[in-house]
Amino acid sequence: MTIATFMLYMLNHPQVLQKAREEMDAVVGTERMPDWDDEERLPYFVACIKETMRHRPLVPLGIPHATMEDDFYKGYHIPKGCMVIGNIWAMHRDSERFYNPTAFIPERFYEEGKPTRWGTGPISQERDHYSFGWGRRFCQGSHIAEASLFITLSRLLWGLDFSAPLDPKTQRPILPDIANEEATWSEGFVSIPNPYKVRFAPRSAKHAELICDEFEAVQAEWRRMRLDVDER
């Protein structure tokens, strides 16, 4: 779901996509795919992922919590058993923490010359976004989620050109407006893009060859483990 959101944001911000791709090409080149060792050398790309999660959190109101006993916070009495909602959407648009919070600006998470910092961990004051929650109920799988996002999106960005399809009549891109809540985003507890179309193509013959080689290697490993392979 975050992958679909990331792709939609890149389509809507081609200058960001171009900058991330230039970084990817400089670090990885065309002789191999991105791997885990590249993560710290791709800080702008990682910043794009983080800014996507900040600007469009998957669960805008977070996971509901409940108090185990009476509590007081800044003069407010919170009774035992009271449901507490952490409004991640509002937190991510706090102008005291994020300058120009409604704008999509990956640079807010990017410091040139410094290594990547994902910012995972339950301590709220040390986090730079709250998509994975906070405190004792912080998502224990956040490191797996971030690693999965990195390896999947880095290889998509490295190997494929992607663009919005063209309207056959006007020849203009059919591109969902990310600011249009009703038309572009689902309603409910989880907010994801409504289905949209994307055109994918290998960036070059060399990229296509490496993608096919990697696919065959994965299929061979699948067979070795006696798992079903993709025969399509």
Q: Dump pLDDT digits (tens) for 24-60.
A: 999 999 999 999 999 989 999 999 999 999 999 999 9
Q: What percent of the chain has pLDDT over 70?
A: 92
Taking only the tens place, the pLDDT of each residue in 141-186 is: 888 888 999 999 999 999 999 999 998 889 888 999 999 988 999 9
**pLDDT for position 141:** 82
What is the token pair recorded at 196?
Answer: 């949209």
**pLDDT higher at 191 or 129:** 191
Q: How much is the pTM?
A: 0.87
Residue 6 pLDDT greater than 90, yes or no:
yes
139 is known to lie in a ligand binding site: yes
Mean pLDDT, all residues of the chain: 88
What is the token pair recorded at 184?
Answer: 């572009």
Cβ atoms of 66 and 81 closer than 8 Å:
yes
Q: CATH class for domain 2-57+88-166+174-224?
A: mainly alpha
| Measured distance CA(56)–CA(148) in Å, rounded | 18
Nearest alpha carbon to residue 92 among 50, 56, 54, 133: 54
Burial 44-77, CB ≥16 within 10 A → b, else e? bbbbbbbbbbbbbbbbbebeebeeeeeeeeeeee
